[in-house]
Amino acid sequence: MNRHPQAESRLSTAERKQKLLQEGAEFRAAMVNSRDVVRNSLHSRSLLANLFGRVTGVASSVFGKPGNLNAVNLPAMLPLLLSGASWIAKRGTRKPLLVGSAALAAIGAAVYLSSRSSKATKDSEQM
């Protein structure tokens, strides 16, 4: 609160009471807001988005350079792996996980087929 006790001692009892009630109301409003933020962040879709974001970031840093596999820091990755495993084990997250896996598989297949067809057209043009 205040670091200067003289300012509070000048206030009457009713004013101090009103000030404390106002601070309590502000605190409760901040707590309700924080609780809503946490609930929204712990929703399975937002967790899935965060998980995929972290996994793609780690994969791009690890597999960006072919000889970079030794640079993986297992102690740093362990909390991410454990939280991912516990999240997958929950019953409500299986459906979003399957949908996300299907989407990633479709994107991977599309990239593979497009790179394969572009190689085939380059080979046929060189002949």
Q: What is the pLDDT of residues 25-34, one digit of tens each?
A: 999 999 999 9
Q: In the structure, what pLDDT confidence band is assigned to residue 119 with cuts at 50, 70 and 90? A: low
Task: Tell me how many domains the chain contains.
Answer: 2
pTM recorded for the entire structure: 0.34
Please indicate, yes or no, whether residues 27 and 73 belong to a single structural domain of this protein: no
Residues 114 and 94 in one domain: yes
Indicate whether 89 and 58 sit together in one domain.
yes
pLDDT at 5: 55
With a CB cutoff of 8 Å and minimum separation 6, the contacts of 87 are 47, 51, 93
Q: Are residues 83 and 21 in the same domain?
A: no
Same-domain check for residues 11 and 47: no
Q: Do 61 and 115 have their domain in common?
A: yes
- Expressed as residue numbers, the domain containing 13 is 5-40
Same structural domain, 10 and 56: no
What is the model's pLDDT at position 19?
A: 94
Are 108 and 67 members of one domain? Answer: yes
Q: Environment class of residue 66 by beta-carbon count within 10 Å: exposed (0-12), middle (13-18) or buried (19+)? A: exposed
Distance CA 51, CA 45 (A): 10
The span from the CA of 46 to the CA of 41, in Å, is 6
Q: Are residues 106 and 50 in the same domain?
A: yes
What is the pLDDT averaged over residues 110-117? 82
Same structural domain, 46 and 108: yes
State whether 96 and 122 are in the same domain.
yes
